[in-house]
């Protein structure tokens, strides 16, 4: 582990050290040692502090040592070492978080698009529901019309039957009237004959009473 620590330590020489938690340049590493304590190893950074950097007149001053754990290192670039003192995740984790954020934003956009689609589908569903209600109303009206038509049809069938019965009754009455007219003619003829016979009888009786001959009407 010490050998691996030394190999990594060699990558930290001749670089500026920047603390993210303090927000400043801590110094310039010119040497480094590795210490091992139990199963944990540390880097001892020997570096020169930088003064007057704000005035663009940076210069190195006294040297100091800084003991750090490998976990304190956020990233190592070609010119700087970024420290987080265990409070800032490594850069790869930051990049992963950025990737997760992008994925989250994409999911949010997709969710918003789906919500818009859902709203559109809701509107279409509402319109279709209204159309369905109107069609159901029309269907009920048609069903009522159909029932009325069937009832009217039954009435017409009954009326047709009644009409046939009326026609048959009229034909029967026509036959009866013909029979009645014939009977009337027979009665009238019979009455006429009987009347003539009665009149002749009366006349003949009157003539006989007077001693006259009978009428030739007999």
**Most confident listed range (80-94, 132-146, 175-189):** 132-146
pLDDT at 217 over 60: no
CA distance 218 to 210: 18
Query: What pLDDT is stored for residue 90 in this prediction?
Result: 62
Which residue ranges form the domains of the chain, and what is each CATH number?
Answer: 2-88 (2.30.30)
Alpha carbon 70 to its chain centroid, in Å, reads 58
**Most confident listed range (52-61, 116-125, 209-218):** 116-125
What confidence tier does 126 reach under pLDDT thresholds 50, 70, 90? very high
**Residue bearing tokens 């159909």:** 146
- pLDDT, mean over the chain: 80
Question: Per-residue pLDDT tens for 169-181?
Answer: 788 887 777 778 8
Under DSSP, is residue 1 helix (H, G, I), strand (E, B) or coil?
Answer: coil
Nearby residues of 15 by Cβ (< 8 Å), 6 or more positions away: 28, 29, 76, 77, 78, 79, 80, 81
The pTM assigned to this predicted structure is 0.39
Query: What pLDDT is stored for residue 133 in this prediction?
Result: 92
What confidence tier does 116 reach under pLDDT thresholds 50, 70, 90? very high
- Across the range 197-207, mean pLDDT stands at 78
Query: What pLDDT is stored for residue 121 in this prediction?
Result: 93
Q: When comparing pLDDT for 16 and 55, which is higher?
A: 16
CA distance 116 to 187: 103
Buried b vs exposed e over 99-135: b needs ≥16 C-beta within 10 Å? eeeeeeeeeeeeeeeeeeeeeeeeeeeeeeeeeeeee
- Across the range 170-193, mean pLDDT stands at 80
What confidence tier does 152 reach under pLDDT thresholds 50, 70, 90? confident
Cβ-contact 12, 45 below 8 angstroms: yes
CA distance 149 to 58: 105
Under DSSP, is residue 91 helix (H, G, I), strand (E, B) or coil?
Answer: helix
Query: What pLDDT is stored for residue 218 in this prediction?
Result: 45
Question: Per-residue pLDDT tens for 31-87?
Answer: 998 888 888 889 999 988 876 555 445 466 678 899 998 888 888 888 899 888 777
pLDDT at 137 over 80: yes
Query: What DSSP string describes 79-102?
Result: SEEEE-TTSS--HHHHHHHHHHHH
Under DSSP, is residue 69 helix (H, G, I), strand (E, B) or coil?
Answer: coil
Question: Both tokens of residue 149?
Answer: 């038509």
């Amino acid at each position: 582990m010490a050998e691996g620590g030394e190999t990594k330590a060699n990558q930290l020489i001749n670089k500026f050290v920047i603390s993210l938690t303090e927000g400043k340049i801590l110094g310039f590493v010119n040497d480094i040692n590795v210490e091992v304590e139990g199963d944990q190893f540390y880097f001892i950074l020997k570096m020169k502090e930088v003064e007057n950097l704000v005035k663009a007149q940076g210069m190195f001053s006294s040297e100091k040592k800084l003991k750090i754990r490998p976990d304190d290192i956020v990233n190592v670039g070609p010119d700087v070492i970024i420290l987080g003192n265990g409070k800032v995740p490594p850069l790869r984790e930051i990049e992963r978080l950025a990737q997760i954020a992008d994925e989250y934003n994409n999911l949010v956009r997709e969710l918003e698009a789906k919500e818009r689609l859902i709203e559109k589908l809701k509107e279409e569903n509402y319109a279709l529901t209204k159309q369905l209600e109107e069609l159901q109303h029309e269907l009920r009206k048609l069903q009522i019309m159909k029932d009325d038509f069937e009832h009217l049809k039954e009435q017409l069938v009954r009326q047709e039957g009644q009409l046939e019965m009326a026609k048959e009754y009229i034909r029967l009455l026509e036959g009866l009237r013909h029979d009645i007219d014939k009977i009337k003619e027979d009665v009238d003829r019979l009455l006429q004959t009987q009347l003539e016979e009665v009149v002749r009888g009366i006349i003949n009786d009157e003539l006989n009473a007077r001693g006259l001959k009978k009428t030739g009407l007999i």
